[in-house]
Structure 1
């Protein structure tokens, strides 16, 4: 099977590539250090699989997976992650991702998972699967509405007008959301909620 590796940490990318190349049936045909590069390589080289980190510059692994799905590209995506947030998993499933594995999985486990995905199955690390099904969106519908409008750059007063609430109530919702998400401020809270797919 022909594989592309997309990972922004050069050392890890090189090590993974060398180890996967030792497998008789796996050939690493390209390496990318960011999501845009990965998308370009997939479109150009037409590999069977792409193994991607979630957090990458320019485009995340999930952005690339969503774009491939929109393109109708047959390349199967396997996400490698250190994160165990359920929102990532929900977004990944929607984007048609076939594998969701931990970065620190042993190489023989990774190779076996790639073979499984190549054969048309799904591969999910058991540790990740457990946390995905146990983790739910902590935000109420109102908190989500407030965060969505805050994402558009609207101040509390304008959000209040849109939702027929008082500015004080809006500030309370924002502060509640920031606390629940253990965020530093509203921008951080919006980022966390977006990454987890909790504003969809």
Structure 2
């Protein structure tokens, strides 16, 4: 009998984790060895359970799924990560693949396709939702620099320039310069709008 593929599930919603786990356990060649609710738990749990494929949601408390994929790629390069998310944004797809994820699918993927995606990434292949791949190529790369992204993230809650400057340990003038560049690149008129457009495109 062939050895089962050891799968770790990371999603902050217990119901989603439970449903995914139940569906995957119906597959004779898959074994769900762990379920975690935050990105911070992924690396150690993958290590302790000898997981071979990690299914990662993007938006989780602490470390997000893309950062968790990057950590796995660095620390446990033999472990494959597959992003499974509600947020099918082209910018997320690009960032996930750059971080070292082996695949990217959306949560409404049928169970049999998800199981096939796990088998594919385990075999060393890359799996990407075709509609998203097309959209990602059409949308081009993320135009924002790391600093612009950092500053915009702090604007999502409507914080003032002085508050943002304090949070990112930069002068207010420097923050204004980054925001001005980001507003230009996103084609918006103010910092909050720029932050929201960037978030919607998956650039943050």
Which bracket does the TM-score occupy, shorter chain normalised? 0.7 to 0.9
Is the contact made by 1:5 and 1:50 (CA closer than 8 Å) also made in structure 2? yes
Q: Is the 8 A contact 1:84 1:131 kept in 2?
A: no
Shift of 1:121: 1.0
Contact 1:66–1:95 (Cα < 8 Å) also in 2? yes
Give 1:93 deviation, angstroms. Answer: 1.7
Please say if 1:154 is aligned against 2:155. Answer: no
TM-score by length of 1: 0.77
Larger radius of gyration: 1
> Aligned equivalents of 1:11 and 1:106: distance in 2?
17
Unaligned runs of 5+ in 1: 164-169
Instruction: Quickly say closer, same or farther: Cα 1:22–1:181, change in 2 above 3 A.
Output: farther
Q: Could you tell me whether the CA contact under 8 Å between 1:89 and 1:132 is conserved in 2?
A: yes
Q: State which of 78, 93, 96 in structure 1 corresponds to 2:82.
A: 78
Partner of 1:49: 53
For each residue in 1:12-66, what CA deviation from the matched residue of structure 2 results, as whole angstroms up to 9, or x when unmatched? 1100000100100001000001111222211211111001101111111111111
Residue in 1 that maps onto 2:184: 176
Q: Where does residue 167 of structure 1 map in the other structure?
A: none
Counting matched residue pairs gives 185
Check 1:15–1:177 CA distance in 2 against 1; reply closer, same or farther (3 A cut): same
Q: 1:30 to 1:193 in 2, by over 3 A?
A: same
Task: Give the superposition deviation at 1:84.
Answer: 2.9
**Matching residue of 1:18:** 22
Stretch deviating more after TM superposition (5-14 or 90-99): 90-99
The 3 A distance-change label for structure 1 pair 182 and 57 is farther
Matching of residue 124 in structure 1 with residue 128 in structure 2: yes
- Provide closer, same or farther for how the CA distance between residues 159 and 113 of structure 1 changes in structure 2, counting only shifts above 3 A: closer
The one-character-per-residue Cα deviations of 1:134-167 (angstroms, maximum 9, x if unpaired) are 112474xxx759836856453553467xx7xxxx
Q: C-alpha distance in 1, partners of 2:18/2:189?
A: 35
Which of 3, 6, 19 does residue 2 from structure 1 map onto?
6
- Runs of 5+ consecutive residues of structure 2 not aligned to the other structure: 153-167
Query: Closer, same or farther in 2 for the Cα pair 1:149/1:192, shift >3 Å?
Result: closer
Tell me the distance in 2 between the aligned counterparts of 1:64 and 1:26: 22
Does the 8 Å CA contact 1:146/1:159 hold for their aligned counterparts? no
TM-score of the two chains, using structure 2 as the length reference: 0.76
Match of 1:94 in 2: 98
Residue of structure 1 in register with 2:199 after alignment: 192
